[in-house]
C-alpha cells in the first residue's frame, strides 16, 4: 500500500506539472530533504521514537500565480517509530504523506529580487507502517490527513532557487484497533525542510 501511495503521489506531481503548461503561471518542481520533530501518536510506540527527529525525503510540484497557487506534496519519513533502542522492538517503520494544498504567497512583483514568503494548507492521505520483531502487532494504516504551514522562497537565478518550509501534519482517523493504538488512531508531527526550487 505504501508503494501505491508513492505511485499516486508521483502521478499527481506529473499531472500537475503537465496540466499547468496550458495555464498562465509559474511552475516549479521542488525535491526536498528535511526532518520531523514534535511527533505525537496514539499508535503503540514501543521505542518511544515518534517525538524524535527523523529524516524526510520527498518532492512537490507547484503552480503559482501572482498570489495564489496550488501544490501537490509527497514525502516519506524514514524509521519514524525506531530509535536507538538496544532491544530493536521495531524492525522497520515509516510515514508517507500525500497532500494537495492551496498556496498563498506574497505578490511576485514585490518580491522578485528577494525572499518570497508563503502560507500553505490542504488535505490528503497519511500512510503509517510499523513492523515489529517476530511480526507482532503490525501496523499498515492509511488515513485522511491535513497539513498547514509556511515558508520562504528565493531564486538565485531565473530558474534555480532555494525554499525553506515548516509544516504540521495530522491524521484524522477515528477508528480504533485493539492492541495497535490507545484510543482513536492518530499521528501528528512537524516537518522542517529545505528544497531546491526549479522553474520550468
Instruction: Give the tens place of pLDDT for each residue, 9-50.
Output: 556 655 555 554 445 678 999 999 999 999 999 988 889 999
pLDDT, one tens digit per residue, over 86-131 is 677 899 999 999 999 999 999 988 877 689 999 999 999 999 999 9
- Residues facing 163 on adjacent strands: 153, 195
Closest CA to 39 of 187, 150, 192: 187
Average pLDDT in the 124-140 region?
86
In whole angstroms, what is the distance from residue 59 CA to residue 114 CA?
A: 23
pLDDT score of 8 more than 70: no
Looking up cell 518550509, which residue turns up?
A: 165
Cell of 167: 509544516
Provide the domain limits for residue 148: 2-199
Determine the pLDDT at residue 114: 84
pLDDT, one tens digit per residue, over 149-170 is 999 999 999 999 999 999 999 9
Count of domains observed in the chain? 1
**Residue 17: strand, helix, or coil:** helix
Identify the CATH number of the domain in which residue 180 sits. Answer: 2.40.160.20
**Residue 148: strand, helix, or coil:** strand
Amino acid at each position: 500500500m505504501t508503494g501505491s501511495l508513492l505511485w499516486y503521489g508521483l502521478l499527481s506531481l506529473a499531472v500537475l506539472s503537465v496540466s499547468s503548461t496550458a495555464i498562465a503561471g509559474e511552475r516549479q518542481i521542488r525535491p526536498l530533504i528535511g526532518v520531523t520533530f514534535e511527533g505525537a501518536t496514539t499508535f503503540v510506540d514501543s521505542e518511544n521514537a515518534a517525538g524524535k527527529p527523523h529524516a524526510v525525503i520527498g518532492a512537490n510540484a507547484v503552480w503559482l500565480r501572482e498570489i495564489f497557487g496550488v501544490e501537490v506534496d509527497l514525502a516519506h519519513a524514514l524509521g519514524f517509530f525506531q530509535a536507538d533502542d538496544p532491544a530493536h522492538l521495531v524492525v522497520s517503520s515509516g510515514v508517507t504523506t500525500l497532500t494537495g494544498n492551496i498556496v498563498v504567497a506574497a505578490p511576485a512583483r514585490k518580491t522578485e529580487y528577494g525572499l518570497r514568503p508563503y502560507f500553505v494548507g490542504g488535505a490528503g492521505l497519511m500512510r503509517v507502517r510499523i513492523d515489529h520483531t517476530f511480526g507482532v502487532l503490525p501496523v499498515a494504516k492509511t488515513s485522511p490527513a491535513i497539513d498547514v504551514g509556511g515558508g520562504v522562497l528565493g531564486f538565485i537565478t531565473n530558474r534555480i532557487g532555494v525554499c525553506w518550509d515548516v509544516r504540521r501534519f495530522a491524521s484524522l482517523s477515528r477508528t480504533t484497533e485493539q492492541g495497535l493504538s490507545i484510543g482513536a488512531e492518530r499521528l501528528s508531527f512537524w516537518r522542517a525542510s529545505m528544497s531546491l526550487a526549479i522553474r520550468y
